[in-house]
Amino acid sequence: MVSPFVHDFTDKVVVVTGAGGILCSFFAKEFARAGAKVALLDLNEEAAQGYADEIVEAGGIAKAYKANVLEKESLQSAKEKVVADLGAVDILVNGAGGNNPRATTDNEYHETDLPEETKSFFDLEQSGIEFVFNLNFLGTVLPTQVFAEDMVGRAGANIINISSMNGFTPLTKIVAYSGAKAAISNLTEWLAVHFSHVGIRVNAIAPGFLVSKQNEKLLFHEDGSPTERAGKILNGTPMGRFGEPNELIGGLLFLADEQASSFVNGVVLPIDGGYNAYSGV
């Protein structure tokens, strides 16, 4: 028996969406380091290509593809190229997503005497909310429709979605992102049941708080000092610090590895320093 603690993805084809970003490119690199052939999909093909080049330079196998996770035709075109270049897909990581200022309020709590310039819940435009919700939710549904169709009945096939602490308890200000990540967690469970008779496992990781380009302005002032929001996060995280991208890899590879997690299905795994477990007292 192969040790479940040595992740070997040799000859497996892994598709990672959103791989032009820092976090998902990190996922791609780690799968490649474990022997997988990795397809890096992103709307920003140049960014994805840069990370693919890094993988190849390090001795791995990777190719970049332009794909819009909100356009099924774009995804279908990318899939055909992936299969032609790398082979049939074994693992899909739905990494594309994120928040946007257009769907973020300035205030945590609504008050009757807010300053006039405050962007409140009532000021959020439909287009901004739709963009964030669609990017996260539809941006997971559509790639799953396209890639999972060929994964049916394929030994070891599985899907990893990216949820969030928002999927358990909504955070203030980011209404659309919170709702979308809750939907991702629910979708993960739904898909796990739906595909359970055809051999596709579906799980998710729910990262805690990491510092990224998407949230750094919410967490730090321009002078580098932490914001009040950052202080609240750290006070609510028993381990008392922000997470690092490499701390997500153990959970990600565990869920993707059929040798280690063949009976794990429909799980949303918090990787959060204890945030979700902490009641505040």
Name the phi and psi angles at 171, rounded to 5. Answer: -90, 155
| Most distant CA pair in the chain, distance | 66
Q: Residue 214 has what pLDDT? A: 67
Q: Residue 221 has what pLDDT? A: 86
Is residue 187 within 8 A of residue 159, CB to CB? The reply is no
Which pTM value belongs to this model? 0.94
Q: How many residues does the chain have?
A: 281
Name the phi and psi angles at 62, rounded to 5. Answer: -160, 150
Helix (H) or strand (E) holding 183: helix 175-194
Buried b (16+ CB within 10 A) or exposed e, 215-254: beebbeeeeeeeeebbeebbebbeeeebbebeebbebbbb
Per residue in 99-111, pLDDT tens? 999 999 989 899 9
Q: Residue 5 has what pLDDT? A: 63
Query: Residue 155 corresponds to which amino acid?
Result: A
| Catalytic residue selected from 51, 65, 109, 177 | 177
Buried b (16+ CB within 10 A) or exposed e, 117-128: eebeeeebeeeb
Quote the tokens at residue 108: 């945590």
Per residue in 211-262, pLDDT tens? 877 677 778 888 888 888 889 999 999 999 999 999 999 999 999 999 999 9
Mean of per-residue pLDDT scores for the chain: 94
**Surface-to-core class of residue 21, CB atoms within 10 Å of its CB (0-12 exposed, 13-18 middle, 19+ buried):** buried
Is 177 among the residues known to form the active site? yes
Q: Residue 237 has what pLDDT? A: 94
Q: Closest Cα partner for 160 from 47, 28, 2?
A: 28
The pLDDT of residue 83 is above 50: yes
**37-42, strands of its sheet edge to edge:** 61-66, 37-42, 13-17, 91-94, 158-162, 201-207, 268-271
Per residue in 157-214, pLDDT tens? 999 999 999 999 999 999 999 999 999 999 999 999 999 999 999 999 999 999 877 6
Mean pLDDT to the nearest integer, 64-72: 98
The pLDDT of residue 128 is above 80: yes
| Residue 1's pLDDT band (cuts 50, 70, 90) | very low
Q: Closest Cα partner for 24 from 151, 210, 220, 149?
A: 210
Half-sphere exposure of 64 (CA within 13 A, CB side): 23
Buried b (16+ CB within 10 A) or exposed e, 24-41: bbbbbbbbbbbebbbbbb
Structural fold of domain 13-208+243-271 = Rossmann fold (3.40.50)
Query: Residue 119 corresponds to which amino acid?
Result: K
Q: Residue 255 has what pLDDT? A: 98
Q: Find all residues with CB under 8 Å of 90, minimum gap 6, and list them.
A: 12, 13, 14, 151, 154, 156, 157, 158
Per residue in 263-273, pLDDT tens? 999 999 999 99
